[in-house]
C-alpha cells in the first residue's frame, strides 16, 4: 500500500506542517509505504500520484485559506478531476493554524477533494493550532474537546482501512481540456 503525503504549506520541509507529518508518519510504519511531495519545492509527477493508493493533504492556514503551493497544485491538477488518478482513493486532510480559520480551510479542502472524486474516510481530517499545542503543554483538562496529535492514530487507521474499498464509481461529465482557457468573450457580454 502506498500513501503520498502532499505538503501544501508555504513552510515546506521546515514548517509546522512538516512537523505534523513527522508525527503522523510512524502510524503508517510497516502498514504502508509513505512518500513525500513538498509542493513548495516541486509538483509531483502524474505517475507518482497514479501509483498512490491514498493521500494525506496538509497545509497551513494563510488568511483563511490554504497555502499557495497547494493552490497552485489544485490549479495544475484540475484537468485530472474525476479521473482514475483520484477516483475512489481515500484522502485525509490536516490543517495547521495559529488561532483561527483552520476549520473553514479543512471543510473547503475536503469539499474540493470529494468533487475531484476522492473519498474522505470517517474522522479523516483535523486542525491543529498553536493555541491548542500551548494549552496541551500546560495545565489543560484532558477531557476537553480539541484536536491533539494523538488523534493522528485514528486518522492513519481510518485512511488505511478505506484503501481496499473499491467500487464501480461513476462520474459526471467533466471538461478535461484546458481549464485555463478563456471562455468569456468581452464582445458578447450583455449590458
What stretches of the chain show up as alpha helix (H) in DSSP? 16-24, 46-50, 68-76, 102-116, 130-137, 152-162
Beta strands in the chain (DSSP E): 2-7, 33-38, 54-59, 91-97, 125-129
Q: What is the pTM of this model?
A: 0.86
Say what the pLDDT of residue 189 is.
64
Higher confidence at residue 116 or residue 142?
116
Check pLDDT > 60 for residue 139.
no
pLDDT tens, residue by residue, 172-181:
777 777 777 7
Give the total number of structural domains in the chain: 1
Range of the domain at 21: 2-188
pLDDT tens, residue by residue, 157-191:
999 999 876 677 777 777 777 777 776 676 666 65
Cell numbers of 158, please? 481510518
CB distance 59 to 17 below 8 Å: yes
CATH code for position 58: 3.40.50.360
Which of 66-70, 121-125, 147-151 is predicted least confidently?
147-151
> How far is residue 109 from each of residues 32, 39, 59, 167, measured CA to CA in Å?
24, 16, 10, 23
pLDDT tens, residue by residue, 32-73:
999 999 999 999 999 999 999 999 999 999 999 999 999 999
Amino acid at each position: 500500500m502506498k500513501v503520498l503525503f502532499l505538503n501544501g504549506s508555504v513552510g515546506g520541509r521546515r514548517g509546522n506542517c512538516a512537523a505534523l507529518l513527522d508525527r503522523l508518519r510512524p502510524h503508517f510504519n510497516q502498514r504502508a509505504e509513505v512518500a513525500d511531495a513538498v509542493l513548495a519545492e516541486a509538483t509531483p509527477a502524474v505517475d507518482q500520484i497514479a501509483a498512490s493508493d491514498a493521500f494525506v493533504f496538509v497545509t497551513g492556514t494563510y488568511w483563511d485559506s490554504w497555502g499557495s503551493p497547494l493552490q497552485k497544485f489544485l490549479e495544475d491538477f484540475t484537468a485530472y478531476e474525476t479521473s482514475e488518478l483520484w477516483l475512489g482513493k481515500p484522502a485525509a486532510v490536516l490543517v495547521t493554524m495559529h488561532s483561527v480559520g483552520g476549520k473553514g480551510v479543512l471543510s473547503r479542502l475536503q469539499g474540493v477533494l470529494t468533487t475531484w472524486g476522492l473519498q474522505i474516510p470517517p474522522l479523516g481530517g483535523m486542525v491543529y493550532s498553536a493555541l491548542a499545542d500551548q494549552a496541551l503543554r500546560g495545565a489543560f483538562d484532558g477531557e476537553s474537546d480539541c484536536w491533539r496529535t494523538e488523534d493522528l492514530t485514528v486518522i492513519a487507521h481510518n485512511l488505511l482501512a478505506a484503501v481496499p474499498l473499491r467500487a464501480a464509481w461513476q462520474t459526471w461529465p467533466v471538461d478535461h481540456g484546458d481549464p485555463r482557457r478563456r471562455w468569456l468573450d468581452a464582445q458578447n457580454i450583455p449590458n
